[in-house]
A and B are shown apart, each in its own frame.
Chain A
Amino acid sequence: MGTMSNDTLLEVKHVSVDYGAGDGAVHAVTDVSFTLRRGEILGLAGESGSGKSTLAYAVSRLLRPPALITGGQAIYYPRERDDETDGAASISKIPGLSGVRGEGPVDLFELSEDELRAFRWNDLAVVFQSAMNALNPVMTIGAQITDVLRTHRPHMPAPARKERAIELLRLVGIAPDRLGSYPHELSGGMRQRATIAIALALSPDLIIMDEPTTALDVVVQREILTEIMNLREKLHFAVIFITHDLSLLLEIADKVAIMYAGRLVEQASHYDLYKHARHPYSYGLMNSFPTLHGPRRTGIGIPGSPPDLRDVPPGCAFHPRCPFAFEPCKTVLPLLHPAVPGSDQQVACHLYDAQYRATPPTTEEIAARYEAIAEGSAVR
């Protein structure tokens, strides 16, 4: 954490978000930190209510009351002006200085209303979960692209705006004659492509994608993912990809962060996570999806359900559901630390703390324990 190298794009430090205040406050996100590098895809995974969307919306400053950011910073490192020339090779440059670029790091939580408006879409765009609901039903696709340009590039002439809209549609694989179509005239997949085109309108450095493929069938889902990967390849934007589908993240994300009850419980490269998920929760989440290929095995599930965020269990929030829970889990809050010395893989679990347990469990051990539970419940 805290790498100040040149390619850092976003540094989220100790962010907490509450819904409501006082005794009834729901602590949706608690003390979350992570770093995102330029062009990197960070996968944010967890069950419903784990705080993953809240965290992403906090970073984009889109939370609305009663949600309240109660602490932390989100430091954004704008692109150097000189960098403007490279990078977006296959998409035409869009004239005009944008957002907060070239002015040094800024804390997104400190931006004024006007700065925020300039920052939005110029630097950070959002692709929402359901494209049907995210597109204005009474405006054509073209108008929904050009109104971004009209707001952020007021000097751009109308023909140029249209040109740009056509270019963007082509980029995401939509025929330019769809410019005048309304959202309801497009298929689900096309709508999601259109929202991606809108997101790319100002060549942002960061795109938050909130379950962009959840509402689509698997074939279209695959197409959209491939599209996102290709576009990232061409345009070098970074992505915060939110999903509950961990197997999908393992495929596309460079780095995966797993949330439970508002906290990060594990953060690792997709490879490390795939090979050896350290946190018992991560392992359970990852293996709760049956695989199509590979050996037959007992389907496992995580027993119980996520905690009530108004009343999170003390110590490790996962301990009531954890097959490995032991004494310290009930009282001491585990913090993120390297799973094994010198590793990038960080885990918030006492199993990997030499103070509590001499040798951390192996992946086989975790698997065996979960399978035992699964068998047990099958017998019952």
Chain B
Amino acid sequence: MRHLLRKLGIYLLAIWVAVTVDFFLPRIAPGDPAKDVYYRLAQLGPVSPSTLKALQIEFGLNTTDPLWLQYLKYLNNLLHGNLGVSVTYFPSSVGSVIAQDLPWTLVLLSISVLISFALGTLIGVFMAWKRGSTLDTTLSSVMTFCYSIFYPWLALVIVYFLGYKFGWFPFSDGYNATQTTPGWNFAFLSDAAYHAILPAVSLVISTIAGWMLTMRNSMVTTLSEDYIQMARAKGLTSRRTMFAYAARNAILPSVTGFAIAIGAVMGGQFLVEIVFSYPGIGYALVQGISNHDYFLTDGILLMVIIATIVMNLIVDLLYVVLDPRTRQVKGA
């Protein structure tokens, strides 16, 4: 329990550091969001200088407060869940933009990552078990190839052939807005799943090799352990030896790797959403950056950071379940 509390403390500290960096970083960058919006409005029709002033007030840019006071106000707002108003999607609040986009990202990401991890790990187990066989050597080289593919290229190839050329799958948007309405109905859900296939496939192809090779190598090491020899000597079935003894131990490094990879996968997700014009927060983030939308980028980065930290926490907890050695010794 103390172990857990300490972990929680560390994660809270990490969130605080992230929030702080998140606050200062955009403010160092050049540009002024109020002017951005003002000029955009100016292109649509005549605007008075007072509009600029109004925008500055709206965005909280008219302040004469010193930076540290702004920072404290920012923290206070965060605690109350107030992420500000989006410049890009003015006048929507950042909170509502994220609430709308986050589910798309989360669903696509978690499903493809889980498929990739489960499938990759399972194949890795078999490769190591049949080490040196044709299966192992062929897959090893194929996977090393997959591992080194440049993701944007892979995504574009998939978009071009499977989406554009053959027209088997849609390659933009999260659903067909003309035929379905978002909600818990079958038509929408199946359409959304259909739209998610290409981005998910591209994600799985680009990440599966890593899990597979990690598991294979870890498994090969584990197979030379004495307890595997003992499991064989015990006359256990090879399935039991393979899973309960070998894979069960070999998966531990993969789980750690999983925690480390989450951040990178999140980053990669943005690329996926851009290539596939997918309506997730990655897409929104890119819009936010190009529009000097402090509030939106702040909010999204914060979400990504919190999501990464929460995932890490889950993996930590999972690790405690998986490896009894990390549990606190009871009373001894």
Contact = CB atoms under 8 A, between A and B. Distances in A.
Interface of A: 60, 62, 116-122, 125-126, 128-130, 133-139, 147-148, 151-152, 182, 184-185, 195, 198
- Dominant SS among interface residues on chain B: helix
Contacts of A130: 226
Contacts of A125: 233-234
Nearest to B224: A64
A148 B227 contact: no
Contact of B230 (A117, A118, A134, A138): A134
Given A117-B237, A147-B236, A151-B236, A136 B231 contact: yes
A138 B232 contact: no
Which interface residue of B227, B232, B235, B323 has the most chain A CB atoms within 10 A?
B235
Given A137-B324, A184-B324, A148 B332 contact: no
Contacts of A152: 235
Contacts, number: 75
The 4 closest A-B pairs by CB, nearest first: A120-B235, A133-B226, A182-B324, A134-B226
A118 B235 contact: yes
B20 interface: no
A62 B229 contact: yes
In this complex, the member of B322, B324, B325, B329 whose beta carbon has the largest number of chain A beta carbons within 10 angstroms is: B324
B8 interface: no
A118 B236 CA distance: 9
Most buried by B among A137, A138, A182: A138
B250 to A, nearest CB: 11
Nearest to B233: A126
Contacts of A147: 234, 236, 240, 244
B249 interface: yes
Given A128-B226, A130-B226, A137 B233 contact: no
29 contacts: A60-B233, A116-B235, A117-B235, A120-B232, A120-B234, A120-B235, A121-B234, A121-B235, A125-B234, A134-B230, A135-B230, A136-B231, A136-B244, A136-B245, A136-B249, A137-B323, A137-B325, A138-B248, A138-B322, A139-B248, A147-B234, A147-B236, A148-B235, A151-B235, A151-B236, A152-B235, A182-B324, A184-B325, A185-B329
Interface in B232-285: 232-237, 240, 244-245, 248-249
Contacts of A116: 235
Contacts of A134: 226-227, 229-230
Contacts of B237: 117, 151
A121 B233 contact: yes
